[in-house]
Amino acid sequence: MELHLTLDSRRDVTGQLVHQIRAAIQAGRLRGGDRMPPSRLLAQQVGVARKTVTTVYERLAADGWLESRVGDGTYVGTGLADKPKGLAPAPALPAQALRWRDAQTPFLQPPGEGTPRFAFQPGQSDPTRFPLAEWSRCVRAALADAPRHMTTLADPAGDPELRAAIARHVAYTRGVMSTPDMLMVTAGAQQGIDLAVRLLVAPGSVVAMEDPGYPMARALFQAAGARVVPVPVDGEGLVVDALPPEAALVYVTPSHQSPLGMSMSLARRLALLDWAARRETLIVEDDYDSEFRYGGHPVDALQTLDRHERVIYLGTFSKTLTANLRCGYLIAPPWLMPALRKIKHLVDWHTVTLTQRALATFLREGHLLRHIRRSQQRHAQRRSRLLSRLHGDLLPWLEPVPCHVGFHQAARLRVPIRTEELLGLARRLDLALAPLDPFFAAPPAHCAGLLFGFGAIDLLDIDPALDRLATVLSELAPAAAAPR
């Protein structure tokens, strides 16, 4: 018989021939009982040594694809005669796999997609301001001390020194009272949400969250099979009276509502805690960037006010240091910690120990607090420049939402503009914009507004970026700027 085989290169010739013959059998081009070409003839046709073809036949025979008959040659295995031609259709995915396949990943940048020259990236800190010298010293100290810990199994809850340092840090910066035994180190706040989901959410469970709200949390709840009920927010934060009574979990960002930015009033905080206590519901409090404040009085965390042990508090170093550090923490009531420790152990054993020990030293020596103070000054300057433009020449199109915390600023659009047109035209001007649309449970018909992250953009780039934005808005909605 005539068998057409080709070699793409001279590397792994044996593997190439094995793969092509096996593929021919699977596709039905070679049928069970067909005689294979003699090894000498096939070697001449392909241009390889006869020993290579002999090795190929032996490997395929060992796996059952070929049969060697003494004195009669080599044949395609007869047990393969009934194999269907071509590839079998992919099996149907179970419901749980379908939920994960179709999950929204709003902040996942496509591979190879470049970043425009000007970008207001929400949630991003300035990489050029990372305290590299101090961090390097802490990493070297952790490396030097590593042999002492190499034979010790790491605690799933985290390094004891780091947990103690975090407990001191949140007590000082946020008034959150905890002990190291109530604290767990996580791979960012996102893993903290995931651990809470695994602990508290079953398929069909009701999870209540703000609308608009953090889309990564919503996607995680939905992928776990929960029914996510959107709850409106107003100037005082989450509307407690609109909470569904059957909720097993309430996810909330009370110190700096994500994405709009208002802080939940004390009355609402107390009402939410009372509601959760009466219904025996757990609250996940995501306190993601409240270290940065630009006026007003600091508000107590829900965890600080909680007297019924209903709050799981989440924090992260992604905003204060860098997202690539992937280090966060949760503080949970003592009665939840045994289960959370087991979940953490089963999911990933423990967070990277070298990073934990370096971070413990970084906190203990005061580097983080100094970095936060320096960042606060830079953020305040950038925020001031941004707001002056939003309250100035951009006011006909955009209405900034009052906010005194964090390092992003939300602004609602005053005129109807299609999101795709806005983003597309901005990108042609080398400007990346973040719409508010992904934060809503039901995407709006027109762009709801924009989220201006000012943590990573240079102060001198703000005006050129906003000049480009003004050009885009005036082209898409010229009537808004006309005198009235």
**343-356, pLDDT tens digit by residue?**
999 998 888 899 99
| Lowest mean pLDDT, pick from 28-42, 110-124, 267-281, 343-357 | 110-124
Q: pLDDT-based confidence at 32, cuts 50/70/90? A: confident
Least confident of 101-105, 269-273, 360-364, 393-397: 101-105
Our CA dihedral for 304, 307, 311, 313, rounded to 10 degrees, sits at 20
What is the number of alpha carbons within 13 Å of residue 201 lying toward its C-beta? 26
Residue 459 in contact with residue 375, Cβ under 8 Å? no
What percentage of the chain exceeds 90 in pLDDT?
67
Name residue 438's beta-bridge partners.
none
Q: What is the mean pLDDT of residues 466-484?
A: 86
Q: State mean pLDDT over 238-257.
A: 97
Rounded CA separation 312/217 (Å): 14
Residue 29's pLDDT band (cuts 50, 70, 90): confident
As a whole number, the mean pLDDT across the chain is: 90
Q: Are 399 and 412 in contact (CB under 8 A)?
A: yes
Residue 290: the pLDDT is 84
Cβ partners under 8 Å of residue 138, min gap 6: 358, 359, 361, 362, 365, 367
Overall average pLDDT of the 280-296 stretch:
90
- pLDDT-derived band at 110 (thresholds 50, 70, 90) equals low
DSSP 8-state symbol, 351: S
Per the model's pLDDT, the better-predicted residue between 311 and 30 turns out to be 311
Q: How far is CA 121 from CA 37, 92, 265, in A?
A: 62, 38, 28
pLDDT above 90 (res 45):
no
- Determine the pLDDT at residue 112: 58
Whether residue 167 has pLDDT greater than 90: yes
Q: What is the pLDDT of residues 46-95, one digit of tens each?
A: 889 999 999 999 999 998 899 988 888 899 988 765 555 555 667 787 88
Residue pLDDT, tens place only, 387-397: 999 999 999 99
Contacts of 70 (CB under 8 A, 6+ apart): none
Alpha helices in 47-153 (DSSP H): 50-62, 95-101, 132-149
Mean pLDDT value across residues 96-121: 78
Q: How confident is residue 482, by pLDDT bands cut at 50, 70 and 90?
A: low
Over range 356-383, report the average pLDDT.
Answer: 94
Residue with tokens 């107003």: 234
142: which 2 tokens?
């952790």
The token duo for 425 is 């035209």
SS3 425: helix
Confidence of residue 193 (pLDDT cuts 50, 70, 90): very high
pLDDT of 327 higher than 60: yes
pLDDT grade, residue 113 (50/70/90)?
A: low
